Structures are given as C-alpha cells and as structure tokens.
Amino acid sequence: MIGIKTLVLEKIRKMPRGSIFFIDDFIELGSLGSVRLALMELKKEGLILRPARGIYCYPKIRSEYSGFSTPSAESVAEALAAKERVRIIPYGDQAAYRLGLTSLQVSNLKYLTDGPSRVINLSAGKKIFFNHTSEVKIFDFCNETMQMVSAAIRVLTEECLDAEKRRIIHKHLRCVPEEEFRKDISIPPAWVGKIILDIWNN
C-alpha cells in the first residue's frame, strides 16, 4: 500500500516548479493531520519549502550548486488570494516602488483586499498585511498599471509629484491601451483621475 507521503510527493512533482500550495490541496489523499505530517517530512528532507505556516512551495532550482529559489512575498500573497477567492491590490507605497517612483523598498508588503484583514508571518522574517477595504470600486480596474498608478498617486499626493515622477508615470501610461485607459480613468477619486489625465495628455 502506497503511503500518504508518497502520494503527496507524487502530486507535488506534477506541479510546475515554483508552485505554491496548501494543506487542503491534498485533502483527497488523507486526513489533514496525515497530510500535514507528510508535508513536514518533505520539508525536512529539503524537497519543498514552507514560506509561511500552512503555505508550501515546490521551489524552482536556482542552479546545481546554489540550491532552491525562495518564492517571493508577492507570489505568496497572490496564491493566498487566489485560494481564498478574494481580490487584492498593492498598497500605495508598494505600488510606488514597483513603478519606480521611489527607491525606498518596503520591508513588509501591504495589500488592500475585499476579504478579511489578516497578517501572514513569512519564515524570512517579513510580514504580509491584508487590510480590508469597503471601497470595492478600486478592484474594478481592468488594467493593472492604471490600478498601481492610482494607488501610488494617492499615497504620494500631488505635491510630491515632481517632473521626474510625472515622466515615469507617463512612460507607464503609454503602455496602457487607450480603451482600457478610458474605462479605468473614472474609477479613482476625482483628484487622482485629474492628475492621471493631465499626465496622459502631456
């Protein structure tokens, strides 16, 4: 009879490298307790990683000599959101960094979500904050760049948007299809939309 650990490992090895998964992804193979024990043993054997409690990864191989690549905090957040079927968007500071509007990298990731507020403690020492918002309209963007630009401007404010930051934002906006831009421009607060439209037109 094939043991639960072997069954779990067989299923993991069918996943693409870099996949993030959870205990209940294996519930058809056995009880939660037996699956948890199997995953713990596979982690001890160095076959999988555990970026956070209850969250596991079939890691990508960095190279033959340097071992595995640890999944990014962003990929963990996105996998968790997909599992729980909630929507998330990067908080303003994080969006500003990703757009190149600030060189100050945030140590802990913050997301707005239409799901419950919670904190995920990563094994690397970082944290992921999910903050519930009732402003559900912000999840209606059809273009991710428009979503991030809006979030960044809201935290930077108009006074901090110097010529260089406007140039960077304009460069990003040039990659947004006009049809999507026209749909999304009405979503952010009026003062944010006015700034985005001004940068788009100049």
Place of tokens 């460069």: 171
Mean pLDDT of 191-195: 94
Q: Which two tokens stand for residue 120?
A: 């995920």
pLDDT of residue 65: 59
Q: In what order do the strands lie in the sheet with 109-113?
A: 88-90, 109-113, 127-132, 118-121
pLDDT of residue 151: 92
pLDDT of residue 1: 46
Average pLDDT taken over every residue of the chain: 91
Structural domains of the chain, with CATH: 4-69 (1.10.10), 87-200 (no CATH)
Helix (H) or strand (E) holding 127: strand 127-132
